[in-house]
Amino acid sequence: MAETTTAPRPVVATHGLWVVLPFAILCAAFLYPLFLIALQAVTGPDGALSLAQPLRVLTTPAFWRAFLNTIEIAVSASAGCVGLGLGLAILLSFVPFPGSRTAARLIETFVALPTFLVALAFTFLYGSAGILNETATTALGLAHPPVDFLYSRWGVVLAEVTVYTPFALRPLLAAFSLIDAAQIEVASSLGAKPLRILRQVILPAALPALLAGGSLCLLLTVNEFGVVLFIGAKGVITLPLMIYDKAIQEFDYPSACVVAVVNVALSLGLFSAYRLIVARIGGRHAGVV
């Protein structure tokens, strides 16, 4: 019997082409400016490539103070966001009370607010002439305002915690809503008290969300500019503020570019670490690692 064969349909190799346009836009709008910043950072006054400029900036005490401030504030604020977000998420998810849904929505609206607005509100609340200090000095007859934390790094941290807690809260609420209620009930029937259930059943299930929220907060707080500027804490210079100072106030663009490169490297490093952790934790939780 004669065999009939059907010629394979020609495959048009177009599957790679559709990425060209988005990639071109990405390069033009994002990668090229970044490249220019990086190039500026390593370009000497004579136009030649040189490491003199980066070495000069990176060896100044001011840079290291800003670097350490950035890390310290970001880590503290992120820890605060995760802690507060976790507490709120547990409260809103597992201790239902009248108006809990409204409370959750209200907290989430903070995401929509400009960050500096919170700093401004803090000034009205906790500033030296703010409501709290005015009330305290009038009521207690004090000569000086008793609450004096706002213009320190802890004022910045508190403002950032207020602004960014919803970014940790949201993924936690989503993760908690996905936890099988039967797991909690079975754990309870096996003799586990609420704290043990929280520690051994709920938190492990929410760990990827906790890491995701925490990492997002860390990224956002590392790059936070508005809050730090508006609080105006004495001696609290972070990397974004240093870039602003160098570029806008001192017109020292090469130095600003060096600091900006460090800031971008820090952000990308944190992001890579976050992806790595989520991949490992996520895989383990799926029971496949």
Two tokens at 169?
A: 């809260």
95 binds another protein (CB under 8 A): no
180 binds another protein (CB under 8 A): yes
**Closest distance to another protein from the beta carbon of 286 (Å):** 6
Q: For tokens 């996905």, what's the residue?
A: 178
CA–CA gap between residue 289 and residue 286 (Å, rounded): 8
* DSSP bridge partners of 43: 49
Q: How many CB atoms lie within 10 A of CB 174?
A: 15
209 binds another protein (CB under 8 A): no
Angle of helix 100-108 versus helix 153-178 axis, rounded to 10? 130
Contact segment (CB under 8 A) with another protein among 81-89, 157-165, 184-192, 250-258 equals 184-192
**Closest distance to another protein from the beta carbon of 276 (Å):** 19
285 binds another protein (CB under 8 A): yes
200 binds another protein (CB under 8 A): yes
204 binds another protein (CB under 8 A): yes
* DSSP bridge partners of 49: 43
Of 2, 12, 49, 288, the one binding another protein by CB under 8 A: 288
- Which CA distances in Å does 172 have to 50, 83, 209, 217, 224? 47, 11, 6, 13, 22
**Closest distance to another protein from the beta carbon of 201 (Å):** 6
Of 22, 61, 235, 287, the one binding another protein by CB under 8 A: 287
Q: φ, ψ for residue 48 (rounded to 5)?
A: -90, 155
206 or 217: whose CB is closer to another protein?
Answer: 206
Q: φ, ψ for residue 49 (rounded to 5)?
A: -65, 135
**Closest distance to another protein from the beta carbon of 52 (Å):** 52
Among 106, 93, 102, smallest CA distance to 176 is for: 93
94 binds another protein (CB under 8 A): no
**Closest distance to another protein from the beta carbon of 184 (Å):** 9
Binding residues for another protein (CB under 8 A): 180, 182-183, 185-193, 196, 200-201, 204-205, 284-288
